[in-house]
Structure 1
Amino acid sequence: MESFLSGVAQIFTLATLIYMLAGSIAGIIAAAIPGFTVTMAIVLTLPLTFSMEPLQGIAVMLSVYVGGYTGGLISAALLGIPGTPSSVATTFDAFPMARRGEPGRALSLGVWASFFGTIISTVVLIVAAPPLAMFAVKLGPWEYFSLIVFALTIVASLVGDSVIRGMLAGLIGLAISTVGADPVMGRPRFDFGVEMLQAGLPFLVVLIGIFAISQLTSEVEDAESVRSGNALVTGAIDFQTWKVMKEVLMRPVNLVRSSIVGVLIGALPGAGGSIANLVAYDQAKRNSKDPESFGKGNPAGVVASEAGNSATAGGGLIPLIGLGIPGSAVDAILMASLMVHGISVGPRLIMDHADLVYGMFVAMAVASLMMLIVSVLSMRLFLRVAEVPKWLIVPVVMVCCVVGSFALNNRVTDLYLLGFIGVAGYALRALGYSLAPLVLGVILGPIAETNLRRALMTNEDPALFLTRPISLIFLIAAVLSIAWAIRGHLQHRKTPERNTDASAS
């Protein structure tokens, strides 16, 4: 109790709270700009924390972290462009909802889901950090590969109207992930002697090109609509915060399930919010009584995706605090910040620096509350995007995409790749291909390949994927997931046929 009170006292100082508020605002703004990820915002924040006390510096970076997971919602809902990789699934329902005249509701649903997701993950972090950390560290490359195979089955529920086109898009994504140096030996492959392909296709460049460039290009197809000053989304900029909060709480199963998914995936080193975002969305769709409405503005999809990605913030701290193993790039930066202050991160962290650990728990809760307050108070300003005409917002967002792509590696060749990928994304969209499976393949492909090769390098016996219990459970779940998706598609095809027969009779 003494350590807990000490941590609370360090957080609730005027200077720390002001710094945390600034961090929340910075995280929201950075993540709302396509191409500027949460990791980039944290990296820029790190040097500013060197002169602070350890807990104060960690609290500021946690505020940027939590704010960043919510900030990606803004561009996802209002522009149809995921601000961060962890908000890909948010675009599926938030943008259609905004397009049909409910941008305020779409943003409010995402903000409240993010808030509750972070709070639930913090509670789980406090209660279950040690046992979950011990579980996560026991997973080997066999279990990770099987987990990714299970995650790849999400493609089956994101294929859109055509199963074949959706699967082809997923295969294209997996193929893109193999271009460049291989992740284990570093040997070049599939670059075809083209210099700009030797470093591979950076994931963020692919994400921005596929979603942002293709979406913006589609928006300016109708020259008359651009000249008339139409906005990307229409509808009242009013929002009913408390009404939407009740709407989120009226879906407790979806909210808690998505948050738990985010915590569990966040606790696995190397997974992260982009996977949690998609898995939570997939589970919400599979368990819905009306799965056909997903992708058309279903509020349950917005709640699931945002609760899932925000909950990874707390989940990622579980292996960091329990074992000294960073669960993501952001957690590695947090670990580096502690080490700069001379704090050894490992299993003894909670025993040697209990006030620091309890202070991090409190900082997570305070940061989520600040994110909520900042988002609600500034939501009317965010919604002004709905009033900006296309002829102005399209070039501005395009410039942000270009700057974000260049800032990733400071390579001009990435801009050429952005253009080529954007044109390819526009062509696939025009041909009726779902872009979500492609992005999923790009995300999960390198992780699956790395763990498969590590497993086989450790032991060449492929039977270990089936004899190790946790790996087997993931593979069985993958088979059941595919069977469930096929069953759903068959039922969806039979329904129109029955309606046609009924009308004919």
Structure 2
Amino acid sequence: MVSNALHDLWFGFGVAFQGTNLMWSFFGVLMGNLIGVLPGMGALSAISILLPLTYVMHPVPAILMLAGIFYGSQYGGAIGAILLNLPSHPPHAVTCLDGYPLTRAGRGGTALGITMICSFFAASVGIIVMIFCSPLLTEISFKFGPTEIFSIMLLGLLAGSTMSRGSPLKGVAMTLFGLLCGVVGTDVNTGTFRFAFNIPELSDGLELVAIAMGLFGVADFLLNVNRMKTVTAKTTLRIRDMRPTMAEMKQAFWPMVRGTGVGTLFGAMPGTGPTITTFIAYALERKISKTPEKFGTGMIAGVAAPEASAHSKTQVDFIPTMSLGIPGDAVMALILGALMIQGITPGPQLISDHPDIFWGLVASFWIGNVILMVLNVPLIGVWVKLLQVPYRYLFPSAMFFIVVGVFSTQNSLFQIWEVLAFGVIGALLMYLEFSVAPILLGFVLGPMVEENFRRSLLLSRGDMMVFVERPISCAFVVMSALLVIGVTYSAWRGSRRARQQRTTMLDGEQFVAGE
């Protein structure tokens, strides 16, 4: 089996290294990287713009180009999130939490270097999994029905709601607000409008890109609008600044490994978007950290884990898309559409019927990720030059790109108003010391939790025991219960310790007064 896989991979490298295929793969990586840096212009926008180009192309270079755009924009989005606190792609919103504080502390180059290393490592693991484990992961993915998906989403929701700094109640409140935002629009089962207030533009719900841009980009601008200096005091970052120290690599190693595992797991499950993956990877790191209170202030682990999970999921996402014909998210749906336009039907027979496409794509992942690393070494000087632009010029320009990017998704001016509204809401919440990250998590997971919960009850005729009768679902429900108990106990222990400290201080004051 291993020898056959290696033989097929060798054949794939022969396909990927053909002049035309290599040229289009490089073009896709370059365009994805450049467009990914622009606020509001993620992989979805880049692929949508260049999709008509594939109509007149051969299937192999067409798919290699689209795949290059996909993972090229992943790294490009991380650059904007780390340097400017502007996530062009929603999965990178969680990278802002620790990536931007690192930039403010003069360690933006280190954050970018860690991101590059994590992206290459996670992508390599994802490619190996795709080569050797595609049949196994496909079989496992069939075991995840609506009951199991609900249970794992519930665990992710509970874990994410406690990832904010400060009071866990504030995190829960923000998650509930995100859930409320997620139910706006048309009910998938009944077709009725919910919380749309007779506004036709809300019939399809709120736009994820608009919420991410408003909460992280516009809110930061509104909070710092009177700051007339550069983003950070250290405005000269060199290529050698991207080389993390051994101590920083030690801090990043295990978060990178765990994030890669999370991304691989979720990548094999159809219908789970990359935003869920990054938030769960971040929440996992915060839970197992000895210093969870430092997350959000510039932790290396807070950058390594979500970026590794995003890049491993990007590669593994192709397994259900190519072998089952089930896209993991909107970007995968576009690539699936591109295959069908070329007259190729994704499914179990794709590998045998079109080995040049499948194995050429697998080989191009490695080639493209090497190109991505080589490309960003000279380009990093361009990206960090952004830090030398005065704040009063930089962020108004970023607002322009946000408007263009958000408008280009559906050509709707209403979504620009959405960005402004969530920017004001985010600024107020951040001023009141609420974390806005759980809002995005609740918005993403909420509709999926509701849909799979209702579907499970329909299939079980309203029997709630279905969630504990199925082994996989029961395991995730038990983990959810343990998480709630653990958070409750931790909060009770913290409040008890605070009361004891206050009592000790009062006793000391009374003793001093008595003397």
TM over 0.5: yes
Residue 84 of structure 2 aligns with which residue? Answer: 79
Q: How does 1:52-451 map to 2 (within 5 A)?
A: 52-220=57-225, 222=226, 225-226=227-228, 230-235=229-234, 236-240=236-240, 243-244=243-244, 247-248=248-249, 251-451=252-452
What is the letter of the counterpart of residue 378 of structure 1?
L
User: Structure 1: any 5+ residue segments left out of the alignment?
Assistant: none
Cα deviation, residue 138, structure 1 = 2.4
Cα deviation, residue 3, structure 1 = 4.2
Residue 476 of structure 1 aligns with which residue? Answer: 478
CA contact (8 A) 1:108 1:239 kept: no
Spell out, residue by residue over 1:266-288, the C-alpha distance to the aligned partner (whole angstroms, 9 max, x if none). 11111121111111111122222
Distance of 1:393 and 1:386 partners within structure 2: 8
CA contact (8 A) 1:142 1:455 kept: yes
CA contact (8 A) 1:294 1:301 kept: yes
SS at match of 1:16: helix
Report the aligned-residue RMSD: 2.2
What is the letter of the counterpart of residue 190 of structure 2?
M
SS at match of 1:183: coil
What is the letter of the counterpart of residue 211 of structure 2?
V
Spell out, residue by residue over 1:386-428, the C-alpha distance to the aligned partner (whole angstroms, 9 max, x if none). 1111110111011111122212221222222222222111111
Residues 104 and 194 of structure 1: CA distance in aligned 2, closer, same or farther (over 3 Å) = same
Residue 487 of structure 2 aligns with which residue? Answer: 485
Spell out, residue by residue over 1:472-500, the C-alpha distance to the aligned partner (whole angstroms, 9 max, x if none). 11111212223333445456666777777
Cα deviation, residue 463, structure 1 = 1.5
CA contact (8 A) 2:219 2:423 kept: yes
Relative to the length of structure 2, the TM-score reads 0.91
CA contact (8 A) 1:145 1:452 kept: yes
SS at match of 1:35: coil
Bigger shift: 185-194 or 396-405?
A: 185-194
Residues 333 and 416 of structure 1: CA distance in aligned 2, closer, same or farther (over 3 Å) = closer
SS at match of 2:243: helix
Cα deviation, residue 195, structure 1 = 4.2
Residues 99 and 134 of structure 1: CA distance in aligned 2, closer, same or farther (over 3 Å) = same
What is the letter of the counterpart of residue 237 of structure 2?
I
Residue 8 of structure 1 aligns with which residue? Answer: 13
Distance of 2:153 and 2:10 partners within structure 1: 41
Distance of 2:101 and 2:496 partners within structure 1: 26
What is the letter of the counterpart of residue 240 of structure 1?
R
Distance of 2:313 and 2:197 partners within structure 1: 38
Distance of 1:480 and 1:378 partners within structure 2: 46
Relative to the length of structure 1, the TM-score reads 0.93
Residues 36 and 125 of structure 1: CA distance in aligned 2, closer, same or farther (over 3 Å) = same
Q: Percent identity?
A: 30
Residues 42 and 249 of structure 1: CA distance in aligned 2, closer, same or farther (over 3 Å) = farther
User: Structure 2: any 5+ residue segments left out of the alignment?
Assistant: 509-515
Spell out, residue by residue over 1:47-94, the C-alpha distance to the aligned partner (whole angstroms, 9 max, x if none). 222333322221111111111111111111111122211111111111
Cα deviation, residue 99, structure 1 = 0.4
Distance of 1:111 and 1:485 partners within structure 2: 34
Bigger shift: 250-259 or 82-91?
A: 250-259
Alignment size in residue pairs: 499
Distance of 2:400 and 2:153 partners within structure 1: 34
What is the letter of the counterpart of residue 359 of structure 1?
G
Spell out, residue by residue over 1:195-233, the C-alpha distance to the aligned partner (whole angstroms, 9 max, x if none). 44334221221111121111111121x3xx32xxx1122
Bigger shift: 11-20 or 205-214?
A: 11-20
SS at match of 1:50: helix
Spell out, residue by residue over 1:319-350, the C-alpha distance to the aligned partner (whole angstroms, 9 max, x if none). 12332322222222222222233323211222
Cα deviation, residue 356, structure 1 = 2.6
Distance of 2:417 and 2:321 partners within structure 1: 38
SS at match of 1:138: coil
What is the letter of the counterpart of residue 233 of structure 2?
T
Residues 267 and 386 of structure 1: CA distance in aligned 2, closer, same or farther (over 3 Å) = same
Distance of 2:333 and 2:215 partners within structure 1: 28
Residue 457 of structure 2 aligns with which residue? Answer: 456
CA contact (8 A) 2:162 2:171 kept: no
Cα deviation, residue 121, structure 1 = 0.9
What is the letter of the counterpart of residue 109 of structure 1?
I
